[in-house]
Amino acid sequence: MTTLSIFNQNEPQTALSVTNDAGEIQRLLAEQGIRFEQWSTRDLPADASQDEILEAYANEVSRLKSECGFQTADVVSLNPDHPDKDAFRKKFLDEHTHSEDEVRFFVRGQGLFYLHLGELVYAVLCQRNDLISVPDGTRHWFDMGPEPEFTCIRLFSNPDGWVAEFTGEAIASELPQYESLAGVA
């Protein structure tokens, strides 16, 4: 279930609030300039190709490209048996920013986006059918958990994709990780 947990950066181990109401999550994130949507489910085979996935969501992807000026879209997947899963997880666990929006639509699985907004950190556990758009310049990090399993559509303004600019802050290591917030043992 999609959840939003809000933490104060000065008391990072205790959530100030938690909600699993999608409308409330959308409202709270919109107040911070974060786009959050839920798209209708498409029945796709587990081994659907990038082209099949992009075709299934062509209308939504086209709408976002038109509204936001995105140039390209692709599909990224990660499974628990991937030999580099630990390195991929570590790569995104440090706080960073991008010079363009980071947009992810979860076709399957889940992942946890942390958004460091002022003194608050919004931890959004995104799941199947969730779209999140993190505006450029927003301090954030992503935790896919120790056994990642997700497929996401990504949209880019720059055809070369995004590059992370790490902040050097330790805040990401001070908040509860995926295992705690996703209820995974």
- Annotated binding-site residues for Fe(2+) read 96, 98, 102, 140
SS3 string, 4-16, reads EEEEECCEEEEEE
- As a whole number of angstroms, the distance between CA 78 and CA 94 comes to 19
CA torsion, points 166, 167, 168, 174, in degrees to nearest 10? -100
How far apart, in whole angstroms, are the C-alpha atoms of residue 121 and residue 163?
22
Token reading at 2: 């999609």
Which DSSP symbol is given to 20?
Answer: -
Give the span between the Cα atoms of 49 and 118, in whole angstroms: 39
List, as residue ranges, the binding site.
96, 98, 102, 140
**Between the CA of residue 177 and those of 60, 73, 160, what are the distances in Å?**
31, 28, 30
Q: Which residues are annotated as a binding site for Ni(2+)?
A: 96, 98, 102, 140
